[in-house]
Amino acid sequence: FNAAMFDAAAAARAAGHLLTLLDALLADADAMPAKIALLGPADGPEPLALAIGAPQPAPTGTVLDAFRRNVAAAGGAPALAWGARSLSYDALDAASDAFAARLQAAGLRPGGGVAIFARRTAELVAAILGTLKAGGYFVPISSDTPVERVGMILDHVEPSCVVVDQTTASRL
């Protein structure tokens, strides 16, 4: 083991976990390694519990429900920040409402698909939220996706609308 990275106790624990894994696999050759418990009572709390604390209840509702709660609770607070700029929840809500209206005017119906071929910007977040507000689903396509792959995605998805930005528009 790399003594600069691990002390002897950590290396011994890792070796013990490996032995536990090997013993379990020898006992049941069909066992799935990912399902074998490596940690025992001597190891203390699960590492994830140490990192994140006590389990929390799963959120309920949709992404839009959560977004709307944040708008109501902290409308003027920053929802997005990049560099020295930021966009408040209220401004993002207004931008996504406007985007939803544009999608609907362009013919998007509930359950329709929107391919979003754009860079990661505040406008992308507004487009995603606007698509959801209009009742559609979105298919994100990274701006660095090769054009041939973009074509295959669009052929497969057959979206009602395709959203591009200044960078990606010339690539279609």
Determine the 3-state secondary structure of 71 from DSSP: helix
Tell me if residue 94 falls in helix, strand or coil: helix
Q: Give which of 127, 158, 121, 112 is closest to 143, Cα–Cα.
A: 121
**So what's the pLDDT on residue 7?**
84
The mean of the pLDDT values for the chain is 89
Q: How does pLDDT run across 143-154, given as a tens digit for each residue? A: 999 999 999 999
H or E element in which residue 115 lies: strand 113-118
Q: Is the pLDDT of residue 13 over 70?
A: yes
Residue 141: name the closest of 123, 120, 122, 158 by CA: 120
Query: What pLDDT shows up at residue 79?
Result: 96
Report whether pLDDT(159) > 90. yes
- Over residues 96-107, the mean pLDDT reads 97
The per-residue pLDDT for 15 is: 86
Distances in Å between the Cα of 8 and the Cα atoms of 45, 52, 90 are 20, 26, 54
Report the pLDDT value the prediction gives residue 6, as an integer from 0 to 100.
78
Q: Determine the number of helices (DSSP H) and then strands (DSSP E) in the chain.
A: 7, 5
Q: What is the pLDDT of residues 33-65, one digit of tens each?
A: 888 887 766 666 666 565 666 677 877 899 999
Burial call 69-93: b when 16+ CB within 10 Å, e when fewer: eebeeeeeeebbeeeeeebbbebbb
In degrees rounded to 5, what are phi and psi of residue 104?
-65, -40
pLDDT at 32: 84
Backbone angles phi, psi at 34, to 5 degrees: -65, -20
